[in-house]
Structure 1
Amino acid sequence: MLGTLALGVADPAQACINAIGTDHQGRHFPLHEEVGERLAERLTSNSAKAFYVGSARTIIADAKATPDLERLTKLAILLIYQGQHAQSARLLLSIERRWPGHHETAANLGTALELAGHDAPALAWIRLGIRRNPAEHFLSEWLHVRILESKLASVNDPTRLTRQSIAGVQFGDATVPPLPTSRPAGNDGRPVSTYALNHAFAYQLGERMQFVAPRDPVVANLLSDWAALNMAGGPMENVVALYALARRYGADTEVMARREAEANRVLKAARGNQRLGGRCSICEPSDP
């Protein structure tokens, strides 16, 4: 995510959803997560922001009446959603001094600092949050580290964010790419599974897109890779939806257009049939 908003949005993979997806061979399969347009709607919604801003009066009153760790953390999150990033960072630093060692504080501070334009200290706090809690944000916070590293590296190389995969995955130019055999290191330093990679894209983008409006090369880069991952082993509905979002954020390549056209072709051919037996290779934690 853009940052790790403790006490924020629940893990999207835990939602009670039953849907039907279509693999790149046109076969249907069940899955328990948003697919296609519903996925796009979740990514572009601001439900967490609406909750915090709508509860602002209560959050502020509670923090004044009982300025404990939980209530002050909620206030810091509210300040982030209100766009008061520097003020939130100052509050989180005071929370760290008063109640040191909490992974939520480190991760939230990384968020506030990045939004305030301070990527280097943000990276330090995000890394500290992972050290404090190796399972930080459902094991997806390694992707936030890579985002900040890429942003810092792009300061002297502005085209880096359009040339290199932020997530560290390669799909080549094939219309239907293979699943990546070389995958980035997760929170624990070991290569993530394709399921964990899929989950990291879902979680981190679900948070980041609440704060980052089009056009943005980081979000475009992540959406493009996530769409390619779905082309390799996920629902074609997601390929279409994610590439459409990637285009809104500034991505536009020949490979992307070719994959998008193929996904649409498969979906059109599969429409109305009852052909089952498909498999989503990235939707279940089955590989090591």
Structure 2
Amino acid sequence: MNRFKFFLVVFALISFKAFACLNGETKILKNGAYAYEDYDGINPQGHNFFKGDFPELIVELDSLYKKTKDLDYLSDKGYLLIVLGKYDEALKLYLNIEKIKPNRYSTTSNLGTLYELMGENQKAYEWIKKSIAINPKSHEGSEWLHLKILEAKIKNLENVSGPFLINTNFGTAREPKTKLSKEEIDKLAQSVYFQVNERMSFIEPKDKIISILLFELGNLAELLGKNNSALETYRTARKYDYNDDLIVERMINSAQHEVDHYRDRAWSFGAQLRVLRESKGNIYSNYISQIETTIIILSGIIMILLIAFIVFFLKWKKLKRITSAS
């Protein structure tokens, strides 16, 4: 492999995690069609719906229900109607399913979501609570968080906080702190991700509850050592209007950890290079050149991250001065 090709391979491997990709969770309808495919990773972006296919799928699902009387087809039709924003039509359909066959999980769950989207939070709470009773492990066991969100809405809490929603507090220091185990952190991160990703599929920025949950998800990612994911999630939280000074400090903290990560990798390759050069064995010069190229790439990435970090920090300081002056 020549040096140029090696450069491209290493650069691709290093840069890959910075780009979103599909191959995440999918929803397959009763007729085998895909409703959406998610992006991979723990930075929520909402479902990637295949809405262009929905009108034809709705007709097909309706036809299959009439032929088979299988309510799964009808329920999937209702789901597509919700995604398309046809709430009244979807509500009529699901209430009809409930009459035909009461206490189906998909009916209760979708009615809960539907009522929330329609602004009827008390009804949404009752249906989601009912769906949990039917299937406690649904939605990755995250529906407890859905209830907390609805509780905050019903109580019209103006100062709703992360600790209220997720039942834990990561402190106010520059780096999030917790007594939770890694397993507990991972489980909580999955729950928050699931609920936020669902909500982002229907709710555009700005939204207070989504912004808070994104901030907490960023904290969880940081605690799991996923610095780049934490940084991306913090950015998304700001997009949804989370503007507390603490998020800026946490972003700086994540950026510093990411710089440290690449610096450590560069030092590791440098150490390998020194060992190879000092070795008396038969070392191919091309292999040494490849390691040198890797170190150069890593050094470049570190410089870019440092520059970005400095620019971000200066902008934050300037904004803080302007805010203080006003």
Task: Pick the structure with more helix per residue.
Answer: 2
Report the TM-score when normalising by structure 2: 0.65
Which of these residues, 45, 48, 53, is aligned with residue 46 of structure 1? 48
Which of these residues, 106, 109, 128, is aligned with residue 107 of structure 1? 109
Q: Report the counterpart of residue 246 of structure 2 in structure 1.
A: 255
Q: Report the counterpart of residue 165 of structure 2 in structure 1.
A: 166
Matches within 5 A, 1:4-19: none
Q: Report the counterpart of residue 120 of structure 2 in structure 1.
A: 118
Deviation at 1:11, TM superposition (A): 11
Q: Report the counterpart of residue 177 of structure 2 in structure 1.
A: 178
Matched, 1:227 2:218: yes
Q: Report the counterpart of residue 206 of structure 1 in structure 2.
A: 197
Cα deviation 1:17-63 (Å, max 9, x = unaligned): xxxxxxxxxxxxxxxx625xxx35xx244236566456334234334
Which of these residues, 56, 63, 66, is aligned with residue 61 of structure 1? 63
What secondary structure, in the 3-state scheme, does the structure 2 residue paired with 1:214 have?
Answer: coil
Task: Give the letter for the 1:245 counterpart.
Answer: T
Matched, 1:237 2:236: no
Deviation at 1:206, TM superposition (A): 1.6
Is residue 105–residue 131 contact of structure 2 (8 Å, CA) maintained in 1?
A: yes
Q: CA RMSD in A?
A: 2.9
Matched, 1:264 2:255: yes
Separation of aligned partners in 1, 2:28 and 2:104: 11
Separation of aligned partners in 2, 1:241 and 1:202: 13
Q: Report the counterpart of residue 19 of structure 1 in structure 2.
A: none
Cα deviation 1:59-94 (Å, max 9, x = unaligned): 343345444311110111011011011221221111
Is residue 96–residue 105 contact of structure 1 (8 Å, CA) maintained in 2?
A: yes
Rate the CA distance shift 1:202–1:222 in 2: closer, same or farther, 3 A: same
Rate the CA distance shift 1:70–1:163 in 2: closer, same or farther, 3 A: closer
Q: Which runs of 5+ in 1 are unaligned?
A: 16-32, 183-191, 276-288
What secondary structure, in the 3-state scheme, does the structure 2 residue paired with 1:161 have?
Answer: coil
Q: Which runs of 5+ in 2 are unaligned?
A: 1-26, 269-326
Return the structure number with greater relative CO, CA threshold 8 A, min gap 6. 1
Cα deviation 1:136-155 (Å, max 9, x = unaligned): 2221111111111111112x
Deviation at 1:6, TM superposition (A): 9.6
Cα deviation 1:86-111 (Å, max 9, x = unaligned): 22122111101101121111101101
Identity %: 27
Rate the CA distance shift 1:89–1:79 in 2: closer, same or farther, 3 A: same
Separation of aligned partners in 2, 1:161 and 1:76: 32
Computing the radius of gyration from Cα coordinates, the structure with the larger value is 2
Which of these residues, 86, 89, 96, is aligned with residue 87 of structure 1? 89
Task: Give the letter for the 1:62 counterpart.
Answer: L
Task: Give the letter for the 2:82 counterpart.
Answer: I
Cα deviation 1:172-224 (Å, max 9, x = unaligned): 11111222549xxxxxxxxx932221110111112111001000011001101
What secondary structure, in the 3-state scheme, does the structure 1 residue paired with 2:166 have?
Answer: coil
Q: Report the counterpart of residue 152 of structure 2 in structure 1.
A: 150
Report the TM-score when normalising by structure 1: 0.72
Is residue 173–residue 255 contact of structure 1 (8 Å, CA) maintained in 2?
A: yes
